[in-house]
Structure formats: structure tokens, C-alpha cells
């Protein structure tokens, strides 16, 4: 695997873990409503069932969690 590809994969994995951790103890229905995602999508990301959410999904959740939205 190319060095750049590995770096991108690692950045993606870090972001996913940060989002999963940030969703703990949150109302997932409320988060979903605010960011405009389906509640099941947010629940699957939060539970870890969705191991490869899209970058767009992670960005929406990360923006919400960091208050940028």
C-alpha cells in the first residue's frame, strides 16, 4: 500500500473513532435530526456496526460534535 494511502486510511480511522467516542451519551435521534442524517445511520456509526461510513457522514457528525455546524 502506498504511503499516502496508508496515511489517508489512518486519518479516516482516527476520525471514525473520534466520532464514535463523541456520540456516547448523546441523543442519537437529536443528532440525526440536527445533522440531517437518518437516525439508523447515526446509530450504526455510534455502535460501530458501520465500520466504513462515508467521509461525508463522518464530516457531518464531526462538525456537529465540534460545534462547527
Domain boundaries, the chain: 3-65
Beta strands in 1-69 (DSSP E): none
pLDDT reported for residue 69: 56
Per residue of the chain (69 residues), give pLDDT as tens.
Answer: 688 899 999 999 999 999 999 999 999 999 999 999 999 999 999 999 998 999 999 999 999 999 975
CA distance 53 to 49: 10
CB atoms within 10 A of CB 23: 19
DSSP state of 52: S
Q: What is the pLDDT of residue 33?
A: 98
pLDDT the model gives residue 1: 60
The per-residue pLDDT for 23 is 97
Amino acid at each position: 500500500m502506498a504511503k499516502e494511502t496508508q496515511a489517508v486510511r489512518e486519518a479516516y480511522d482516527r476520525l471514525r473513532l473520534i466520532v464514535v467516542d463523541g456520540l456516547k451519551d448523546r441523543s442519537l435521534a437529536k443528532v440525526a435530526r440536527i445533522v440531517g442524517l437518518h437516525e439508523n445511520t447515526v446509530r450504526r456509526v455510534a455502535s460501530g456496526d458501520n465500520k466504513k461510513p462515508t467521509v461525508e457522514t463522518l464530516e457531518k457528525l464531526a462538525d456537529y460534535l465540534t460545534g462547527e455546524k
